Structure 1
Amino acid sequence: MAHIGYHASHEQFSPSELIGYVKLAEAAGFSAVMSSDHFAPWSLRQGQSGFVWAFLGAAMQATKRIPFGLITVPSGWRYHPALTAQAAATIGEMFPGRLPWMALGSGQALNEHITGERWPSKGERNERLLAGAEIIRALFSGETISRDHPIKVDEAKLHTLAKTPPKLVAGALSPETAEWAGSWADGLITVNQPRENLTKIIEAFQRGGGEDKPVYLQVHLSWAATDGEARENAFDQWRSNAVSAAVAETLRLPEEFDAACVQVRPEDMDE
């Protein structure tokens, strides 16, 4: 069964504005909210980037029943997996069942360069992603965990647990990553692409072990009174989507995304 949710875009709106928007989304009949998790926006024109974990508690208190999902949480860098597990368990204890999933990702330099660490290869980031998922799951189950590589943890244990912790969904933009994620993730989330690309990604996830697991799709829509206005709004706010995934994961600043999009035209939004 398909569900249609509202995306709380922290890159575009202040947290206080988004509180109002998720209340409207619930009243309008949306069945879920998906919240972004960024340290910086995709573009200086967007101009916002609130802290999602502070927002989640306030947003759940301001709404009645609507569940929230989270995209995408890194494994390391600005969030140690133990801190991610503690934050999610705290939300789950206060608002049972309203954080049913959160998406883990291999990270982007835009958000993670702030720690000053070396930006690793995709293979190394995937290794950290899997390790992060294992650490979070162990902590959700009440275990005490220690490990050295690739993420260090020293006798970590959660003392506040959620009765139903969130499922760990994998963010993937390619069939290769999706197939690998099928072996360990509780679900898949990806973004709108041409149908043939999406089919390949979903089939790869199912082939890798995700056949009976949920799939989430983020679709960017520009809603306005006219096609021209909708096109201009999309161009102003989301031309960064024209940057390939391979390039996007290495860009460090919103200014770099803006520079990478100088050749993008408003009419390109129709593609």
Structure 2
Amino acid sequence: MMRIGFHASHEQHAPSALLRDVVRAEQAGFDEAMCSDHLAPWLTAQGESGFAWSWLGAALARTRFPIGLVTAPGQRYHPVIVAQAMATLEEMFPGRFWAALGSGEALNEHVTGDPWPAKDDRDARLIACAAVIGRLLSGEQADADGPVRVHEARLWSLPASPPPVMAAAISTHTAALVAPWAEGLITVGTDPAALRETRQAYRDADGRGPVMLQLHLSLEQTEERAVEAAREQWAQATVPPELMWELEQPEDFERHADPTAERLRAGIVIGADADDIADRIAAAASGFDAVFLHQVGRDQSAFLERCETELLPALRRRL
């Protein structure tokens, strides 16, 4: 049976509020959760960006279900530090933590002052980081002198078993590229055909483990309010794809956004009727092992209430 997860958006909510939300999500009937890992929000209206790794320790301590994140090693985070953080969380909360590694966005990574690499170079760096992280989590000593440099590193506090090292990918190219090392894949989107292609590219390249989907939605009391919440809080979904990984400041995303209702609907499931929303989520998530729901509107309490009474029951009848 497909697992249904709650997405905690650090870009939009204070860490203390997200902690309450993830506890409520478990009570509402979600099977697991995941969170973002940002240094900056996409838009100034979002206004937050707590440190995901600190929050994860508190969130796992306050809940009983699994929680993971998407993170980008190699520039803002050295891969040895990522491996240490992963090992520590898994040692404290066995079997309840996963991380999906991605190549990152300039929005979060430019702060180091290092040049932002081209996509091919970011991909090479991701592969190198994944190799280092995998060796360290297995208890080995790691050295590297390529896209990342590592000198005689090893972890001293190891879990009984390593946590899954998954990958994040949107394009078919990246999905196939990460397949040799990833222990699962997470992607994002709403278009069933495009999602099917990404999923298939991973499997065709012998990708193993679960395939998971993060889906943005705006479920509000009226259609008009759902569109407005998406426009206010998730307008970066309308930025041209070739710019998403290159822009450095929230203000840059605001300048390049074109948040018409039509453009917003292309990347966000928008509506007021829970049954209709469930139909569209089920269509997008078909073939996946898990789907994580990200309500882009600010009022997470109202959303979680509707999840418990309407959306989750409707989804479970369809998935």
Q: TM-score range by the shorter chain?
A: over 0.9
| Corresponding residue for residue 207 of structure 1 | 204
2:250 equivalent among 247, 250, 254? 254
Q: Contact 2:11/2:48 (CA < 8 Å) preserved in 1? A: yes
- Other-structure match for 1:81: 79
Match of 1:140 among 133, 137, 140: 137
Cross-structure match for 1:114: 111
1:165 Cα deviation from its structure 2 partner: 2.2
Corresponding residue number in structure 1 for 2:233: 237
Matched, 1:185 2:182: yes
Bigger RCO (CA 8 Å, 6+ sep): 2
Distance 1:67 1:172 in 2: 21
Q: Deviations over 1:145-192 (max 9, x none)?
A: 112111100110000001122211111111111111222211111101
In 1, Cα distance between equivalents of 2:86 and 2:177? 24
Query: Which residue identity is paired with 2:171?
Result: S
Identity of aligned residues (%): 47
Report what 2:67 is aligned to: 68
Q: Is the 8 A contact 2:171 2:198 kept in 1?
A: yes
Q: Could you list the runs of 5+ residues in structure 2 that have no partner in the other structure? A: 267-319
Cα distance between partner residues in 1 of 2:145 and 2:193? 41
Amino acid at match of 2:261: P
2:102 alignment counterpart: 105
Cα distance between partner residues in 1 of 2:76 and 2:148: 13
Q: May I ask how many residue pairs the two structures share in their alignment?
A: 266
Q: What SS does structure 1 have at the residue aligned with 2:217?
A: coil
Given that 2:184 and 2:211 are in contact with CA atoms closer than 8 Å, whether structure 1 keeps it comes out as yes
CA contact (8 A) 1:85 1:139 kept: yes
In 2, distance between residues paired with 1:225 and 1:193? 21
Aligned to 2:261: 266
Q: Which deviates more, 236-245 or 153-162?
A: 236-245
Alpha-carbon distance, 1:140 to partner: 0.5
SS at match of 1:220: strand
Q: How far apart, CA to CA, are the structure 2 residues paired with 1:129 and 1:201?
A: 18
CA deviation profile, 1:19-63 (whole Å, cap 9, x unmatched): 100010010110011110001011000000000010001111122
Q: Shift in Å at residue 246 of structure 1?
A: 2.1
Distance 1:155 1:10 in 2: 34
Equivalent position of 2:47 in the other structure = 47
Counterpart pick for 2:162 among 143, 165, 173: 165
Within 1, Cα distance between the matches of 2:140 and 2:212? 29
Question: Equivalents in 2 of 1:167, 1:268: separation in Å?
Answer: 35
Q: The residue matched to 1:209 in structure 2 has which SS?
A: coil
* Deviation at residue 93 of structure 1 after TM alignment: 1.1
Secondary structure at the aligned position of 2:68 is classed as strand
Distance in 1 separating the partners of 2:175 and 2:137: 24
Q: Is the 8 A contact 2:237 2:264 kept in 1?
A: no
Deviation at 1:267, TM superposition (A): 4.4
- 1:173 and 1:245 in contact (8 A); partners too: no
- Unaligned segments of structure 1, at least 5 residues: none
Is residue 126 from structure 1 mapped to residue 123 from structure 2 by the alignment? yes
1:12–1:47: 8 Å Cα contact kept in structure 2? Answer: yes
| Equivalent residues of 1:41, 1:254 under 8 A apart | yes
TM-score (norm 2): 0.81
Native 8 Å contact 1:37 1:70 kept in 2: yes
Provide the C-alpha distance between the structure 2 equivalents of 1:187 and 1:245, rounded to a whole number of angstroms. Answer: 24
Q: Structure 1 length as normaliser, TM-score?
A: 0.95
Distance 1:180 1:250, change over 3 A: same
